[in-house]
Structure 1
Amino acid sequence: MQYERFLNYLTHERRFSNHTVIAYALELERFESFLGAEQMVLDQVGYRVLRFYISAQKESGRASTSVNRTISVLKSFFKYLLREGVVRQNPATALKSLRTPKKLPVTVEKEKLVALLDQKTSETQTFAERRDLLVMELLFGTGIRLSELLAIADEDIDGYGRQIRILGKRNKQRLVPVHDLLYDQIISYQMEKKSAFLQNMSNHLIVTNRGKPAYASMIYQIVKKNLTLVTSQSKRSPHVLRHSFATSLLDNGADLNAIKEILGHAGLVATQVYTHNSAERLKSIYKQAHPKA
């Protein structure tokens, strides 16, 4: 019962996304099974029990990032239980996250992406081809997340301000600018969509070949298919385009705070990771260009 109440709290009071709540639920199911096997209830759990549980997670082969997610969930859960009076102390307070190697965001060179999109623009014929091109243009042209792309409605397009209203994490709204060419593509696509699906047309901007709202796996396939044409790297997801967008802005002198606002990051820490990508790119250019490098 406490698990369900906690998940409801995350959904309705903290306004976490469905994706995040599902991730929390899976972690709590795993923890509940552990307590069942140990024949323990929540108010019997102490720091040593949690340490044993975390150690078992690590020894089972789970990645450090996954174990850290477990720690984060347990800290939030027991903090909630303490507030509700279910437990007398929070045994998760002293849990420390595991060290994880820093990974730089995976990107695709902007020159390759621009060339690909320019080529696709001249080749598009069918509605599906124009839609797929718009998906790529929006992801690389605005840096929005997959979930944000799927949530865009036709009325979220602001032609006067040349911007899109985006519903981000925790239902936070922000306005993301679009360049004139992208705006023209959006309007042209909307007109064609309206013509193709006069009846039962979804108000979602991106739709399937039958006019229904697009879904995550569909966008993944569109992005993977297109990125395969310009890169052999294993990671070819919508988030790669988000990373490529941010890195491109930084490479061209954009202010870090401005990039943070466009991406919808809560703090600068998440945005600063792109400075490492730009630094590595500068080093590479230096080594190739300087006669003594």
Structure 2
Amino acid sequence: MLDQVHLPPLAQDFLAWLSLEKRYSPHTVQSYSLDLHQFFQYLQSQYDGIPLGSVKASHIKSWLALGLEGRKKAEDARKGVPTPASAVTIRRKMSALRSFFKFALRKGVVQQSPMARVTGPKLPERLPVFVDEMAMEKLTQPPAGEELPLFSDDFAGVTQCLIMRLLYHAGIRRAELIGLEDRSVDISNGQIKVLGKGNKERIIPVGTVLMKDIRNYFDKREEAVPGYSGKAMLCLPNGKPVQAWDVYRTVRRVLERVTTLKKRSPHVLRHTFATHLVNNGADINAVKELLGHASLASTQVYTHNTIEKLRRVHKQAHPRG
């Protein structure tokens, strides 16, 4: 995490509160820390470090408008030419400040939050990227015309196969996958327990095929890493736990073989899981529970995929489409 020496004590307390009490992920806390660093550095350079209680919406708006460099294009990086921050980045930074000022309000440091008068840019509506069902069926067999299977028959291949199937069959996040332990799996009842955002546990029922894969994985792991005593369920042939990069690399390699999608990340498989459920008639509230969403609005985006599919069918098949 970034050095917090230059942050006001209240900001340091806020980050500690997020981590220890709210149980925010390390990634989120780090992002908020960076946002607060940038904000207070901006106040120092542009307004001589005005007291927190004197910060107004205009100060925050000027930071969002002028104080953010955003990401630099690769071709301009050496020239130091900045490009505007994306709407997603700005809204995340606003979220960091909104949470911080709520914290300051509870502590009595400010009388009201200046964020109440700050509105962010509207995000473009984007449908989740997902892999079609026919492509996902290729996980059990090599793509047509190719002799090489998607996974080798050694322990590394078995691990990679299970990574793909857990992400797709259970719809879990990458962090949830890495956090799985042996005790997370209830083979007799056909379910797994995952620890999601905010340390919230949820139970996901899975099919017999996936449970068979998990049992096979345990057998292969005992052969490859005798006496394995690691906490993580998924491990590498050297006995070390599978890391985020291992998951991303596996997903990217496999999806390159089965789909032409440009985006090939672990989260695409989560989108695929949800979209396939909705497209096959699953109740949206049940999908919400399976995904671990706090709000139904987060899940309803998958119904848009179904509507878009119906529009395409109508356009292609209807005489007046």
TM-score between the two structures when normalised by the length of structure 2: 0.86
1:247 is aligned to 275
Q: Which ranges of structure 1 fall in alignment gaps of 5 or more residues? A: none
User: Higher helix share goes to which structure?
Assistant: 1
1:115 is aligned to 138
What is the CA-CA distance between 1:93 and the residue it aligns to?
A: 1.6
Q: Once the two structures are superposed, what CA deviation does each residue of 1:53-82 show, in whole Å capped at 9, x if it has no partner? A: 122256850001111111111111111112
Q: 2:60 aligns with which of 50, 57, 61?
A: 50
1:12 is aligned to 20
Q: Which ranges of structure 2 fall in alignment gaps of 5 or more residues? A: 1-8, 70-82, 144-148
Q: 1:104 aligns with which of 112, 119, 127?
A: 127
Distance 1:2 1:291 in 2: 65
2:42 is aligned to 34
- Given the alignment of the two structures, is residue 214 of structure 1 paired with residue 242 of structure 2, yes or no? yes
1:280 is aligned to 308
Q: 1:76 aligns with which of 99, 106, 130?
A: 99
Could you say if the C-alpha distance between residues 195 and 201 of structure 1 is closer, same or farther in structure 2, counting changes exceeding 3 Å?
A: farther
Residue type of the alignment partner of 2:294: A
Residue type of the alignment partner of 1:44: S
Q: Which has the higher contact order (CA 8 A, sep 6+)?
A: 1
What is the CA-CA distance between 1:273 and the residue it aligns to?
A: 0.2
1:95 is aligned to 118
Distance 1:8 1:117 in 2: 45
User: SS state of the match for residue 93, structure 1?
Assistant: helix
Distance 1:200 1:142 in 2: 25
Distance 1:142 1:236 in 2: 18
Q: 2:32 aligns with which of 24, 45, 69?
A: 24
Residue type of the alignment partner of 1:31: F
Distance 2:108 2:179 in 1: 38
What is the CA-CA distance between 1:131 and the residue it aligns to?
A: 0.8
Report if the CA contact (8 A) 2:222-2:228 is conserved.
no
What is the CA-CA distance between 1:52 and the residue it aligns to?
A: 1.1
1:132 is aligned to 160
What is the CA-CA distance between 1:285 and the residue it aligns to?
A: 2.9
User: SS state of the match for residue 34, structure 1?
Assistant: helix
Distance 1:270 1:7 in 2: 26
Q: Which deviates the most, 235-244 or 124-133?
A: 124-133
* Aligned CA-pair RMSD: 1.8
TM-score between the two structures when normalised by the length of structure 1: 0.94
* % same residue: 39
1:263 is aligned to 291
